Structure 1
């Protein structure tokens, strides 16, 4: 493990402290098949697996202006596993998970926890893993879930190497392009947005839907794009159908809607390092494009630039900016015009289980950020990709975004793969 300071960790701690209604927690809802086990069974498996990811025993705190990582001398994995039984006829599973998203995690311990949720069905239960974003980024979150519930052999932690600090001039230590890129992402416009301030409640609800991962991969191959590009194109199509016409003012028409897409900067030797190793880029969704295939192509061009080695070097340089500067950009990102929040397409490799009970479905959850009406995650597992919208309850009756997204994916697959395959099969 490396304890290399990272400004992103401290920013999320400060963000929660200064904005009391915000809970910057991310998580994964694991649906297991079988009768709900005793809490002691879950605790024992977690305790037996902790050594597979040693960073789970580390805690992050603020000491004055400094962000400090340290091993928790009092760490007990049993303290991080909890139980919630839904009484008959009470709140639904999604409502319960949404409520847990707002429960603060203790500040004097490693900032993660697992909830065994049961009582809502006879032969199914849920394990809800969640962590503070100051403690884990998306890759670390999935690594933790795999370490604790994976059925395959454990990943061997690679020793992290921390280079000696070398005094360098400011212009070499933090390239000017990193500052310029951060400023551009903060103020870029004009971008499409719609009024939300009078509607937002700060209370989340969840909506999810699943599609076969083969639909995304086959559509991507047919259009020269990635599965992630297809996810984003389907999101734009779903939003076109979801946003009421009255929300878009005349001067907003023609402006593009943008998402803030995370980019993992975690190097192989940092696979089990503490904290965040990521930055983000803004991706235009070609919101007004009427051709679905043209939209996919435009998004593929944008994400291709985001994956370029030069862009990656600039994003890595952003992580060397002072924490105060990074925090300023995070706060500016509260405004919806700076891009709606998405996880991008994440992937859980292998299969998961609690004892002999298989995990059949995995759903990633995000948090509500500033003026954004929702955040959207995409998670691939066991042959499916599940979309999950964390939506402000002020938009309770606007429409089912998750179902619209799944329908858009199916339509793209049918138009670009199924029809083509059927036409080829009908040829003599």
Structure 2
């Protein structure tokens, strides 16, 4: 069975990249509390469950713009092992510099072992045209849960669509404005000389309960807390390193909104709508910025507006979406990307539980940084992918932790 390639699939397929470090590869890094099964046993496990993830067995036909099944998936090529005698962190940083396969399905998985006697890890990386973050979580749910969640239960879909009323004319217009605001001129990051094709990957974690309590006290969502803390961290970085973000009344972000329907849970492709969100730029604490942040994200929490975003994506040709992405990449318009997803189901391998899950984000050419935050069990973990040409930005993950009181 083949699948139509949506407009966002084409955007990420055609986006330019000056190096492997700026290619649109997302990923998930999972640590399991047990002895490594060995690569042969691990490959057999993936083989047994591969049919449940159609997206891992397709390739893009750019003539018809359809995802078409491959004859077979070479799991020796796609599922590899890596020893980590120098430590897990060093091994992961090395793997993030590797390219995905040049042909066939655009993904690769590594079993990482020999860094501890009682733990092993799995790293999955996929092209963002093939999967959005939610679809990637769904793939891991199918491959690594005791009972595969149904499509309606999965982490891939926007659950607010169930029973939502159709969007009206006003909501369609507001959704279009949310999408168009991605390309508005911010001029907060105009430093064309300070750009490189290198990327730095850093992670920071905060307790979910702490974030929930802060959100509850201010009538906000956990995503609001994530954004408010990130805005404060960037304002502090800007003040320390001569930027202009801290002098602004707002801190703009590109916020991807998941718009995947339940019936598409297992389909390949990218089902995210990019929206522009301007978070308050004033306030000494994340809590002080939360009321304005909650207001700024109000439309993202509306199911009819999400439906309108999805309808717009289905209607707008891929070439127009690609043009919009190109405009948004201009120096006077680039803004940080901030995304948050939730892995709703606990992962395991042969009864061995996954104790910690880290997302892996990409950061395109000319963009200063991109952040992907993942909530799993009791922890929110964010991957900060930054351009090291911007001094001090590689430490903004620590500022984010501090902004949330960690």
> If the length of structure 1 is used for normalisation, what is the TM-score?
0.82
Match of 2:266 among 268, 272, 275: 272
72-81 or 278-287: bigger deviation: 72-81
CA 98–227 in structure 1, closer or farther in 2 if over 3 Å, else same: same
Deviations 1:260-296 (A, max 9, x none): 1111111111111221111111111212233533411
Deviations 1:161-213 (A, max 9, x none): xxxxxxxxxxx9xx887766544431x24x25234433333222221122211
349-358 or 223-232: bigger deviation: 349-358
Confirm or deny: 8 A CA contact 1:52 1:154 kept in the other structure. Answer: no
Q: In the alignment, is residue 44 of structure 1 matched against residue 67 of structure 2?
A: no
Deviations 1:127-180 (A, max 9, x none): 1011000100111010011111123x113458xxxxxxxxxxxxx9xx887766
Confirm or deny: 8 A CA contact 1:94 1:205 kept in the other structure. Answer: no
Give the deviation of 1:229 after TM superposition.
0.4
Partner of 2:381: 386
CA 105–249 in structure 1, closer or farther in 2 if over 3 Å, else same: closer
RMSD: 2.7
Gaps of at least 5 residues in structure 2 are 153-168
Q: Distance in 2 between matches of 1:356 and 1:274?
A: 28
Partner of 1:350: 345
Secondary structure, aligned partner of 1:120: coil
Confirm or deny: 8 A CA contact 1:80 1:114 kept in the other structure. Answer: yes
Q: In the alignment, is residue 129 of structure 1 matched against residue 129 of structure 2?
A: no
Partner of 2:9: 9
Q: In the alignment, is residue 32 of structure 1 matched against residue 32 of structure 2?
A: yes
Give the deviation of 1:2 after TM superposition.
6.8
Deviations 1:294-321 (A, max 9, x none): 4111111111122324532442213321
Q: Which has the larger radius of gyration?
A: 1
Secondary structure, aligned partner of 1:257: strand
Write the mapping of 1:320-335 to structure 2, written as runs, cut at 5 A.
320-335=315-330
CA 389–181 in structure 1, closer or farther in 2 if over 3 Å, else same: closer
Give the deviation of 1:382 after TM superposition.
2.0
Q: Distance in 1 between matches of 2:301 and 2:382?
A: 22
Would you say how many aligned residue pairs link Structure 1 and Structure 2?
385
Q: Distance in 2 between matches of 1:93 and 1:99?
A: 10
Secondary structure, aligned partner of 2:344: coil
Q: Distance in 2 between matches of 1:202 and 1:26?
A: 17
> If the length of structure 2 is used for normalisation, what is the TM-score?
0.86
